[in-house]
Chain A
Amino acid sequence: MCDAQPTREQQLQRILTPLQRFIKAENIVTSVEALRAYECDAFTTMRQLPLLTVLPDTIEQVQQIMRLCYELDIPVVARGAGTGLTAGSMPVENGLLLSMTKFDRILDIDIANKTALIEPGVRNLAVTQAAAPYNLYFAPDPSSQLACSVGGNVAENAGGIHCLKYGLTVHNILELDVITIEGERLTLGGASLDAAGYDLTALFAGSEGLLGVIVGIRVKLLAKPASARVLLCGFDSIENASHAIAHIIAAGIIPAGLEMIDHTGINAIEELMHAGYPIDAAAVLICELDGSIEEVEDELTRVMSLLEALDAANIQISNNEEEKARIWAARKAAFPAMARLAPDNYIMDGTIPRRALADVWQRINQLADEYQLLVVNVFHAGDGNMHPSILFDAMDADQHHRAEELGTRILELCIEVGGTISGEHGIGLEKINQMCLQFTEAEIQQFHAVKAAFDAKNLLNPGKQIPTLARCAEFHAMHVHQGEMPFPHLERF
């Protein structure tokens, strides 16, 4: 029996002894009950227990942990707040889960340069709160901003309601302090607007913890606009709602936010929040305009006339902060509102050219009928980022299977119209098969090659984000509809 895999217990002992030399016992979690808290992120249908969880509280400790894991060939998965939607921070078997929650300090707010130096575990909203006394804020605002960490935002290149105008996380960071799998500390980017060498800050944004562990972030802060008003209106057809998006953008207006909610979504949200959304509408559009007072009034008038021409009804416009907050709070409650409709929710994140909006939206509804599942669409319409949520019950194996199939069909549709399978949530493990639909073998190999430049032993979040070629071959073999590949015109292998 000498070639048997080491047991979990044996693996644990290998790492525990050296680890305990520099990490306090209270920051090492090994009991199975306590590890349950780390077995999944917000995509709860995929779970895996880690070998152990470690909560370092200094950068030196992170370096030492990395060196140890490198030496012992133990995989490392970084975890922020665990709000990811794609099993990105789900542990890997026999791997170490590196929880970054103790890195929760805002180290410096540089008012003059409008930047903040923060640790990766700081919650997204905490940055804006700390900057508020100076009339500054951190622009990326995912709906999860109360809970998610900025380290997680960088690793996912998270977006939010206001990224249409103010950009994604990648546009709002200047510098990253990272630790490589070999325990080396590197500074990427700088306090300046550009840096010498390759743009590794941009490469790290959205790299899902596969290239290194982020231990420090210099973010940009923006001055709060003098005025911001939110307009909400209903449409009785998906076509008109989609046209409204195209017309606003074509008029040269870039709203701070431009969101859409479908009929089912409106009703689910209204039931939970009583925000005054028009429950009969086929779709609700929310448009925030910001800037100087005059600018906002001017754009508001122009947007109103565009909307009226498209038969928008129930137009509401916020007159104060409270009304604005009420409209947005309801939008941001979409997730819990849907949770009341079904036990499980499979959120798609495909992004498409805006011109395809009405078409794709309708075809998604047709697909939902075909698979006999309820799909709710609450999404960032302004940048074409669809979020169809497939509602199902994972306890029902058949429903679960249909939900997965439907998800794949929806993402294929997004690729077909020139879009992508993920706009902001990332790939993780949840969408890894669909990567095989979007990229060719050579492209996937190039991704692996980039990873190898950072992590030759493939120890950082292994198995996530970039599928192996074997996995793709298997996926393609299984994913054949009635003996025929879907969309045979798409380049694939």
Chain B
Amino acid sequence: MLDIQDLTAQVQQAAATKSPLQIRGGGSKHFYGAATSGTPLMMAEYQGIINYEPSELVITARAGTPLKEIEQLLAQQGQMLGFEPPRFSDHATLGGTVACGLSGPRRPYAGAVRDFVLGVTLINGQGQRLKFGGQVMKNVAGYDLSRLMCGALGTLGVLLDISLKVIPKPHYEETRVLSASFPQMQSLLADIGLQPVPVSATLQHEDQLYIRLSGAQGGVREAIQRIGGDTLADSDSLWHNLKEQQHAFFQQPAPLWRVSIPPMAPAIPDSLYDGQILTEWGGALRWLYSQQGEQIQQWAKAQGGHATCFRNPMAGTHIFTPLPAALLALHQRLKARFDPEHIFNIGRIYPDL
């Protein structure tokens, strides 16, 4: 196995010569974010589960550990990752998952990656090995630098070991399907949202609404009475295909946009996209194909959210919604404080970051 000494030495060497590195996990999310160049720092070999005690609801593993392996181990104990991360390939690593900060269909109801990260060990841009957070549920000693790594796309440091909170698998799950347009979905969900209904995922597309319910069987049954619709037989494959973007909707070669906004934000104007929209997260996550990236980003911003070109960006597209100048400057100062020689995954999120 690749050892920490090796990795640290590679980072120190890169820092000394100011030569950029690209941190590589499994290459599964290669399509995501902006491209970077530099000498690859290969993480996939730095793998293995360090500690897992089901009664503690905590798992600690090395960053290169395949996500698949972690999820299989948890499943054997009736547990799971609450944020239901997409893998996009069997090679997806834990480090890449945390670095990308992507969460799946359960996110609005259970939490995002950052909500489950308890602690990390990382190598900063000076080649120092640092440990923040820990393996306990609550920890406010010092700044929460482990959550800051979530979604930073490896621009702040190399993740070595990661501790995650895990959750018990729900006892029972059932998916209901009903016909509902986008506005019908919004009014139904607004209505039931004020009651504690055990919704764990939604998908609305082409006038069909799918609602997954998870929990105690009694609670799920109660909710079904209120929601109506029919039970979907092979629901696991629906949610799997959604999470992994193997659903037919995702197969188009055009620029795919991920629009993250408040769930009850209005329908996206027709003029901004082509074809149909696919909506998850009770309305808070909307996928669409569009050539009008800038307008989509402006519209999302006006709703209090943001939009990301997830796949197939056109040349010159701002992949992530540009930040206001003062906020970008803060990002750059923060980056410089972790990575003073400017070597980690340069330009992955924004140019000059």
Verify B304–A191 contact, CB threshold 8 A: yes
Question: How far does the alpha carbon of A361 sit from the alpha carbon of B196 in the complex, in Å?
Answer: 36
Query: Does B255 touch A at the CB level, under 8 Å?
Result: no
Question: A206 to chain B: which residues have CB within 8 Å?
Answer: 140, 143-144
Query: What sequence of 0s and 1s flags, for each residue 209-252 of chain A, a beta carbon within 8 Å of any chain B beta carbon?
Result: 00100000000001111100000000000000000001001101
Residue of chain A at shortest CB distance from B321? A196
Question: B204 to chain A: which residues have CB within 8 Å?
Answer: none
Query: What sequence of 0s and 1s flags, for each residue 194-220 of chain B, a beta carbon within 8 Å of any chain A beta carbon?
Result: 111110000000000000000111110
The stretch that binds A, out of B9-17, B236-244, B323-331, is: B323-331
- Which of the listed residues B78, B323, B324 has the most CB atoms from chain A within 10 Å of its own CB? B323
Verify A292–B198 contact, CB threshold 8 A: yes
Question: B347 to chain A: which residues have CB within 8 Å?
Answer: none
Question: A112 to chain B: which residues have CB within 8 Å?
Answer: 190, 193, 263-264
- Which of the listed residues A196, A254, A383 has the most CB atoms from chain B within 10 Å of its own CB? A196
Query: What sequence of 0s and 1s flags, for each residue 424-445 of chain A, a beta carbon within 8 Å of any chain B beta carbon?
Result: 1111000100010011101100
Q: A250-B54, A424-B140 are in contact. Are A353 and B148 (CB under 8 A)?
A: no
Query: Does B48 touch A at the CB level, under 8 Å?
Result: no
Residue of chain B at shortest CB distance from A188? B327
Q: A159-B138, A423-B140, A453-B336 are in contact. Are A202 and B148 (CB under 8 A)?
A: yes
Q: A202-B148, A294-B218 are in contact. Are A422 and B139 (CB under 8 A)?
A: yes
Query: Does B112 touch A at the CB level, under 8 Å?
Result: yes
Query: Does A420 touch B at the CB level, under 8 Å?
Result: yes
- Determine which of A438, A442, A453 lies in contact with B128 in the assembled complex, contact meaning CB atoms within 8 Å: A442
Verify A427–B141 contact, CB threshold 8 A: yes
Question: How far does the alpha carbon of A426 sit from the alpha carbon of B141 in the complex, in Å?
Answer: 6
Query: What sequence of 0s and 1s flags, for each residue 147-187 of chain B, a beta carbon within 8 Å of any chain A beta carbon?
Result: 11011100010000000000111010000000000000000
The stretch that binds A, out of B36-44, B67-75, B129-137, B269-277, is: B129-137
Question: How far does the alpha carbon of A384 sit from the alpha carbon of B53 in the complex, in Å?
Answer: 15
By size class, the interface of chain A is 35 or more
Verify A196–B306 contact, CB threshold 8 A: yes
Q: How many A-B residue pairs have CB under 8 A?
A: 264
Question: B34 to chain A: which residues have CB within 8 Å?
Answer: none
Residue of chain A at shortest CB distance from B115? A171
Question: B152 to chain A: which residues have CB within 8 Å?
Answer: 198-199
Verify A167–B193 contact, CB threshold 8 A: no
A403 to chain B minimum Cβ distance, whole angstroms, is 21
Query: Does B18 touch A at the CB level, under 8 Å?
Result: no
Verify A203–B115 contact, CB threshold 8 A: no
Verify B130–A446 contact, CB threshold 8 A: yes
Verify B138–A383 contact, CB threshold 8 A: yes
B335 to chain A minimum Cβ distance, whole angstroms, is 9
- Determine which of B129, B141, B171, B281 lies in contact with A193 in the assembled complex, contact meaning CB atoms within 8 Å: B281
Verify B128–A351 contact, CB threshold 8 A: no
Question: A299 to chain B: which residues have CB within 8 Å?
Answer: 216
B143 to chain A minimum Cβ distance, whole angstroms, is 6
A116 to chain B minimum Cβ distance, whole angstroms, is 13
Query: Does B230 touch A at the CB level, under 8 Å?
Result: no
B54 to chain A minimum Cβ distance, whole angstroms, is 7
Verify B107–A294 contact, CB threshold 8 A: no
Question: B306 to chain A: which residues have CB within 8 Å?
Answer: 190, 192, 194-196
Query: Does A157 touch B at the CB level, under 8 Å?
Result: yes
Verify A199–B101 contact, CB threshold 8 A: yes
Verify A384–B190 contact, CB threshold 8 A: no
Cβ contacts A to B, 9 pairs, < 8 Å: A192-B262, A193-B112, A198-B148, A203-B144, A203-B147, A294-B222, A351-B138, A384-B138, A427-B140
